Amino acid sequence: MGFVFFCLCFIYELLRLGLALDDYWAGIGILIAGACITIFALATAQRLSCKQLEFRDPKLTRKYRLVQISDVHIGSRSVGFLRYVVETINTQNPDLIVITGDFLDAKRVQAEDIAPLKNLKAPVYFSIGNHERYAGLDWVIPLLEDAGVVVLRSQTVKVGELQLIGIDDAEDKNQVRRELAKIELDPECFKILLYHRPLGWESALASGINLMLSGHTHNGQIFPFNLLVRQQFKRIRGLHTQRNAHLYVSPGTGTWGPAMRLGSCNEITCIDLKAAPVSTNVDN
């Protein structure tokens, strides 16, 4: 909240360099604008949007519905918010659910705080994010597994014609390349890589990954932090496609630090994977 007023005051000081402004009315305006922006940002952080994506591939013979959540940050966010997330996911009727890291962010989180995960109506697969590493994996992994989550650590699992691959988050920019080299990939499957940071897509492409799912950036969460995040990551949100393969960077399902969103939104991503239409050649 203080950051909002700081930005407004900073803008006002810049305007004063070239304009004659009344400090009293400017102060009133800053208070009103700051309060409105803060209320809007707080309200936005309580809502969830559902992003719909669809991909077709000849490796598939049936439809699969996958839901991605990322960066929920239980600890910063409450068990009540998680219940809302779980209820929203279940309305999408997914075949499987993936969590691309930073599900929780504090050691004070207890089993009852993530208990709503047990109400999900599809299998849940998880890749480690940086906040799980900070909290301590020896504690985090058993907590998640007790809630029914399958944690993939440089491991794969097959779900029908899909092969899910999960790789732990790391500061090393070569993490994806190095870990994929250790994993046996099935050329017959549609391969989905879960990696927390939107890094290493080039290595994923070279390894034949069809879809990479990431998060981490929050799309900046609060404007203008998205401008700073863009200095660190080339791709900070949305869908990127190359050579019929895809990277999707979630803006995050929750928030870290202040429960505020400005210029971004909390998202649940619903992805339909379908068989590619059969091409037919007609001879004249």
Per-residue pLDDT reduced to its tens digit, 225-254 = 777 787 788 888 899 999 889 999 999 999
Structural domain contains residue 281: no
Q: Alpha carbon 247 to chain centroid distance?
A: 12
Distances (CA, A) of 9 to 16, 30, 33, 159, 227: 10, 7, 11, 54, 20
Of the candidate ranges 31-40, 96-105, 147-156, 167-176, the one whose mean pLDDT is the lowest: 31-40
Computed from CA positions of residues 97, 167, 164, 190, in that sequence, does the dihedral angle turn out positive or negative? positive
User: 200: which 2 tokens?
Assistant: 């290493």
Residues 124, 148: contact at Cβ < 8 Å? yes
16 and 144 together in one domain: no
163 and 34 together in one domain: no
22 and 125 together in one domain: no
98 and 235 together in one domain: yes
67 and 191 together in one domain: yes
Structural domain contains residue 280: no
* Model confidence pLDDT, tens digit, residues 93-148: 999 999 999 999 888 899 999 999 999 999 999 999 999 999 999 999 999 999 99
220 and 148 together in one domain: yes
**Dist. CA 81–CA 32, nearest whole Å:** 29
* Model confidence pLDDT, tens digit, residues 40-51: 888 888 999 999
206 and 228 together in one domain: yes
Structural domain contains residue 282: no
Considering only CA atoms, which of 93, 82, 158, 92 is closest in space to residue 125?
A: 158
Q: At what angle do helices 2-16 and 23-44 cross, to 10 degrees?
A: 140
| 3-class DSSP state of 7 | helix
pTM: 0.88
Domain span holding position 133: 49-275
Structural domain contains residue 194: yes
Structural domain contains residue 131: yes
153 and 118 together in one domain: yes
Computed from CA positions of residues 11, 39, 267, 138, in that sequence, does the dihedral angle turn out positive or negative? positive
What was the pLDDT predicted at 5? 54
Structural domain contains residue 175: yes
Segment (H or E) for 269: strand 267-275
58 and 114 together in one domain: yes
Structural domain contains residue 284: no
Residues 101, 216: contact at Cβ < 8 Å? yes
122 and 258 together in one domain: yes
54 and 38 together in one domain: no
Considering only CA atoms, which of 117, 127, 115, 145 is closest in space to residue 216?
A: 127
Q: Is the pLDDT of residue 264 over 80?
A: yes
How many domains are there within the chain? 2
Structural domain contains residue 283: no
**Dist. CA 227–CA 135, nearest whole Å:** 28
38 and 123 together in one domain: no
Give residue 23's identity as a one-letter amino acid code.
D
* Residue 165 pLDDT level (bands cut at 50, 70, 90): very high
CATH code assigned at 117: 3.60.21.10
